[in-house]
Amino acid sequence: MLFIDGSPAEGVGIIKKAYELKMTPVFIETSAIFSDPVVQKQAPIMTYYTTAFRFYLFDDNLEFKKLYADTFDQTPNFAAAFGYDIANMIISCAGAGTDMQTCLDQTKNVDGITGKIDNIVNHEINPPMFLVKVN
């Protein structure tokens, strides 16, 4: 059963209700909200799958994760990593010697802490995602 949740509270509510009703189909959450370990801890212990960004899956970018945690006293989520990559792309364009819009229009890939993003078309930046079993 695929479900798309719009917020952590909604996703946790879906998993809690499925747990209460003893539902047993394979649940796949498709909006990456449960890729955040903090959100996973709010849900009951049952097996389900989530989509996840590379940033959560691998022990890379440890320097960024540590600096973020030290600065903000919390673990960075995907939005922090994605925002960091976008900010670096804008900073790169600012120093490119051309106007910002032209530089952004010509950007076709980004290699950042969220992974390598290729084939940027119409400014759509879609980092690679993975399907992950939770619990």
C-beta separation of 135 from 96 below 8 A = no
Q: What integer pLDDT is reported at residue 70 of this predicted model? A: 97
Nearest to 32 by CA among 16, 8, 9: 8
CB 84 within 8 A of CB 113: yes
pTM of the model: 0.72
| pLDDT reported for residue 31 | 85
In tens digits, the chain (135 residues) has pLDDT values of 888 888 889 999 999 999 999 988 889 998 888 888 888 888 888 888 998 888 877 787 899 999 999 999 988 888 888 899 989 999 999 988 889 889 988 888 888 888 888 877 777 888 888 888 988
